[in-house]
């Protein structure tokens, strides 16, 4: 079960980082922690994670900061801290803040943790303006080199965490989910991968998802049918070394 949970949590973190692209301000880097992160720590946040990240064609700094504050209060506070009115929040469980200054773009995604409205998680992505523009465009090619791409699929999104040696790639194809899953099962097995859950626990994969392992690597393949487009969405997470 730890393998499954680690895979899902890591995929969620990278995908949350990707959501701020769709909602796309102060600050220069200072030491190992950027000034934008220090600003949040000064507002009572606790740093949970900090790393360099690649999103599509652009690089940036990703930080995860936790707060013991309600999301509605934190949205207003961080809007003042970053001196921006570019705030998107309608009273739900997620909020978005964007700030720009001196060629630097900082984007915050605020998430109210389930079951406790007093706790909020903030994912911060900081980039230069040029890196931000590069990240805002879909990849021109498949960038996840360690796992084969499904033939003819269209790349939509790519994220790589350089600290944890993890990469996430999202694409779509006109092929049906069964055909896609059969392709990855065949190709990965031929390359020395084995089904993780069946091999170690006897449990079944989650619906639409298959998990594979090879020595100190893990690969999760999730295939969702996109009924409105008549296509399938393929999400691949690959992590090397140190599987927690």
16-74: pLDDT as tens digits: 555 554 444 334 343 345 688 999 999 999 998 888 889 898 999 989 999 999 999 99
How confident is the model at residue 118, as a pLDDT? 86
Burial class (CB in 10 A: 0-12, 13-18, 19+), 159: buried
SS3 36: helix
Angstrom distances, CA of residue 27 to CA of 14, 98, 107, 146, 242: 23, 12, 12, 34, 32
Domains of the chain and any CATH numbers: 1-23+138-244 (3.30.310), 25-135 (no CATH)
Q: Which of 41, 118, 36 is nearest to 84 (CA)?
A: 36
Q: Could you tell me how far CA 175 lies from the centroid of its own chain?
A: 25
SS3 per residue for 76-108: HHHHHHCCCCCEECCCCCEEEEEEEECCEEEEE
Predicted confidence (pLDDT) at residue 13 exceeds the cutoff of 80 = no
pLDDT at 96 over 70: yes
Q: How far apart are CA 96 and CA 101, in angstroms?
A: 17
Q: How many residues does the chain have?
A: 244
Residue pair 37/65 in contact (Cβ under 8 Å)? The answer is yes
- The predicted pLDDT at position 91 comes to 86
Q: If 0-12 CB within 10 Å is exposed, 13-18 middle and 19+ buried, where does residue 132 land?
A: buried
Instruction: For 157-199, write each residue's pLDDT tens digit.
Output: 999 987 788 899 999 999 988 899 999 999 999 999 998 875 4
Rounded to an integer, what distance in angstroms lies between the CA atom of residue 71 and that of residue 49?
A: 20
Inform me whether the pLDDT recorded for 3 exceeds 80: no
Distances (CA, A) of 176 to 4, 125, 153, 172, 221: 24, 34, 12, 10, 14
CA geometry: angle 198, 201, 203, nearest 5 deg:
60
* Separation of CA 91 from chain center: 23
Angle, alpha carbons 240-157-101 (nearest 5°): 100
**CB of 15 closer than 8 Å to CB of 123:** no
């Amino acid at each position: 079960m730890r393998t499954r949970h680690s895979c899902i949590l890591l995929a969620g973190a990278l995908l949350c980082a990707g959501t701020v692209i769709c909602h796309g301000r102060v600050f220069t880097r200072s030491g190992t922690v950027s000034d934008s992160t220090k600003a949040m720590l000064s507002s009572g946040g606790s740093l949970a994670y900090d790393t360099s990240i690649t999103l599509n064609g652009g690089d940036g700094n990703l930080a995860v900061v936790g707060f013991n504050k309600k999301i509605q209060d934190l949205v207003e506070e961080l809007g003042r801290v970053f001196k921006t009115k570019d705030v998107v929040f309608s009273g739900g469980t997620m909020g978005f803040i964007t700030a720009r200054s001196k060629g630097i773009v900082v984007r915050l995604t605020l998430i109210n943790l389930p079951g406790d409205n007093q706790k909020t998680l903030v994912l911060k992505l900081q980039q230069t303006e040029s890196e931000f523009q590069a990240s805002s465009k879909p990849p021109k090619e498949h960038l996840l080199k360690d796992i084969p791409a499904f033939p003819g699929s269209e790349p939509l999104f790519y994220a790589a965490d350089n600290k944890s040696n993890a990469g996430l790639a999202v694409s779509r194809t006109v092929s049906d989910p069964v055909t896609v899953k059969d392709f990855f099962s065949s190709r990965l097995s031929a390359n020395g991968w084995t089904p993780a859950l069946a091999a170690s626990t006897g449990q079944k994969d989650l619906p639409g998802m298959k998990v594979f392992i090879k020595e100190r690597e893990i690969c999760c393949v999730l295939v969702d049918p996109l009924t409105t487009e008549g296509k399938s969405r393929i999400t691949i997470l690959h992590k090397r070394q140190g599987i927690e």
